[in-house]
Amino acid sequence: GQNIDQPTEMTATEGAIVQINCTYQTSGFNGLFWYQQHAGEAPTFLSYNVLDGLEEKGRFSSFLSRSKGYSYLLLKELQMKDSASYLCAVRGGNYQLIWGAGTKLIIKP
């Protein structure tokens, strides 16, 4: 079957760095997405990876290894506003998205 795994919850300190992992098993692969979702709000797009390697966008970076079925989202210089859930999603062979359950990130002062 198809599966996306990511930790349920993580805690980090303001100003620090945190890495949120995502592993996947899908039938085909056409890209991996990371979305941010603040409590009670809609998900918003953070990053897209389709080739192996690191994509950097400001304080956020996303890494992909297709051979390992693995991705991570790296958040640097954490701010209190980064407290949110981070959703990993893979676009499978049929071009439909398969979503992980999300990682709730708690930032402490």
> Does residue number 56 form part of the binding site for other proteins (CB under 8 A)?
no
Closest CB to other proteins among residues 73, 87: 87
x-marked contacts with other proteins along 20-49 as a string, rule CB under 8 A: -----------x-x-x-----xxxxx--x-
What contacts 27, CB < 8 A, 6 or more positions away?
2, 92, 93, 94
Burial (CB < 10 A; 0-12, 13-18, 19+), residue 95, is exposed
Please report whether residue 69 would count as binding other proteins according to CB under 8 A: no
- Write down the residue that tokens 């980064």 correspond to: 82
- Taking CB under 8 A as the criterion, the residue among 72, 91, 103, 105 binding other proteins is 91
Nearer to other proteins, 78 or 86 (CB): 86
Closest contact distance (angstroms) between CB of 106 and other proteins is 17
- Cα-to-chain-centroid distance, residue 53: 14
In 3D, which of 15, 29, 21 has the Cα closest to residue 82?
A: 15
Structure-token pair, residue 40: 């009670």
Which residues sit at the interface with other proteins, rule CB under 8 A? 4, 31, 33, 35, 41-45, 48, 87, 89, 91, 95-102
